[in-house]
Structures are given as structure tokens and as C-alpha cells.
Structure 1
């Protein structure tokens, strides 16, 4: 009963009960959610900036050079005789970008 009387007299008592929950959400946001959003944004920019003759690595570890690229598909040249087709989302990283564009 004493707590009810103290809560009725203090207008900030209800805020103080929710303060730990609010603080936990803020910590989770800054430690988990925000960094993941930054990684996703960086990856989407990398996938959007792919171009012909970029040397890339796929998520499976295959190294190759982009020969053709469309909205969804990337064709890689693995060696002189082998070309492989992958989804654009299968690209893990760009090793080096091409400085000269072919026409």
C-alpha cells in the first residue's frame, strides 16, 4: 500500500517503471539494429555499383571477372574457357574494380 501512495504522489513514478525497458531497447538499437542497417546499405551499394571487368568473389568463394551483368544475373569468367552464371546477390565482395570501360 505504501508503494501505491508513493506512486500516486509522484507523477514520474510510472515513467521510472518503464525506464529500464526503454534503456534496453535503446541499447539493442545501437548495438544490433543500427549496425545491421549500415551493413545492408553498404552491401546494396556494392551490388548496385558492379560493372563489367570487376574482379569479384562469390559467397561460395569462387573468384572471377564479370563478363556480362544484368539486373539479376552476373556472368563470370573463371578462366579462359569457363563462364559461370550467378545471381547478383551471390556476390560477396569486389576484389578490384575496372578503371577502363569497354564499349
Structure 2
């Protein structure tokens, strides 16, 4: 019976917090914030900046790949849209932001000549 009394008394008394422990959670939050910034936010903003500069640099005659994987040559550039020629008689209109990459000149010809 004395064991139950000791267990009840130990559970009722709150443990004293060690001195200086109030600043530790703040330091942990700062460390997690820095990790989050350097591993997620900074690389994503860098990628977005590179994509924006690539879109602004698109010119007539560039070979591009869209987000959907369509490869073609830029025929006309409008404000928010790009006309991409898939072949001599096929053209599609895509948004500028749907262009995922520009290809080196001659890539389309190399793909056709290898097949």
C-alpha cells in the first residue's frame, strides 16, 4: 500500500524546470526555420527565377519542349502565348509558362534523322 501512496505523491508533484531552458525552444525554431529556408524556399525561388528568364529570352526559331513533352519550333510570340510548329503543317498555341525548356539548335533534325 505504501508503494501506491508514493506513486500518487510523485505523480502529483510537478517537476521543476531546469534553469535556462526557456530559450532552447526558440533556438530550435530558428534552426528549423533556417533548414526550411535553405532546403526548400531558396532552391525553389532560384528555379522560378531561372524559368522566368528563360521564358523572357524565347525568340522566334528557338526549339522548345512544353510541359507536356511536345517538341517544336517557335513560329510566333505573342504577349502570353507562343505558337509552336510541330511540323510544316501543324502548329499549336501554348502559354509561355507551359514551355519547360529550350533545346539546342538542330535537336529536332537530329531526332528525325535518327528514326
Give yes or no for TM over 0.5: yes
Partner secondary structure for residue 53 of structure 1: coil
Q: Which has the larger radius of gyration?
A: 2
Aligned to 2:24: 16
Gaps of 5+ in 2: 1-14, 107-115
When normalised by structure 1's length, the TM-score is: 0.80
Deviation at 1:65, TM superposition (A): 0.3
User: 1:24-67 deviations in whole A, cap 9, x for unaligned?
Assistant: 01011001110000000000000010000000001111110000
Task: Pick one of 41, 53, 69 that aligns with 1:45.
Answer: 53
- The RMSD of aligned alpha carbons is 1.9
CA distance in 2, matches of 1:26, 1:71: 38
When normalised by structure 2's length, the TM-score is: 0.72
CA distance in 2, matches of 1:49, 1:38: 17
Q: Which has the higher contact order (CA 8 A, sep 6+)?
A: 1
Task: Pick one of 84, 101, 107 that aligns with 1:93.
Answer: 101
Give the alignment of 1:52-67 within 5 angstroms: 52-67=60-75
Deviation at 1:97, TM superposition (A): 5.4
Aligned to 1:77: 85
Q: Which runs of 4+ in 1 moved over 4 A?
A: none
CA distance in 2, matches of 1:92, 1:61: 9
User: 1:59-102 deviations in whole A, cap 9, x for unaligned?
Assistant: 1111100000012010011111111111111101000259xxxx
Deviation at 1:14, TM superposition (A): 3.7
Q: How many residues align?
A: 92
